[in-house]
Amino acid sequence: MTYRLALKDGRILRTRISHPVDRSEYGPSIWKHVLHDQLQVSDAEFWGCVRDGTVPERGVPRPATAALPVDLVHLLINRVGVGEAEVAAMTRDEAVARLQRHWTEGV
């Protein structure tokens, strides 16, 4: 039986489950081949998925959940005069508070 896993980046991973003719068990080399070449996971990723349900990373970038809105970044850099590195280190709440302080106190 062949199993297929379509990934969001367009790749399709395939693995085939079969049994040796003499019903012996697979050796470490075939196991390593299946994990690394067919499933494209490390041993730790595989067992993490089996034991904990932790899905392996598959090359699809995650959206930045804490990204600052571009207008806020623009205002902080160009109006308030905050450096890019400082803005990049700010949380959303810190950035909004800094812009509000500029508008209310002129700082």
With beta carbons less than 8 A apart as the criterion, state whether 88 and 70 touch: no
**CB distance 95 to 71 below 8 Å:** no
For the record, the structure tokens of 76 come out as 């902080």
69 CB burial (10 A radius; 0-12, 13-18, 19+): exposed
| Banded pLDDT at 21 (limits 50, 70, 90) | low
Give the integer Cα–Cα distance in Å for 75 and 80.
7
Please report the pLDDT score of residue 104 as a whole number: 94
pTM of the entire structure? Answer: 0.46
The pLDDT score that the predictor gives to residue 89 is 92
The residue-averaged pLDDT of 18-23 equals 70
Mean pLDDT of the chain, nearest integer? 86
> What is the average per-residue pLDDT within 56-79?
84
Q: CB of 1 within 8 A of CB of 20? A: no
| CB-based contact 12:5 (threshold 8 Å) | yes
Q: Residue 58 has what DSSP assignment?
A: -
Query: What pairing do the DSSP bridges indicate for beta strands 12-16 and 2-6?
Result: antiparallel
Question: What are the residue boundaries of the structural domains of the chain, listed by start?
Answer: 2-52, 70-105
Q: What is the dihedral of CA 47, 18, 36, 51, to 10 degrees?
A: -10
Q: Residues 68-87: pLDDT tens digits?
A: 999 999 999 999 999 999 99
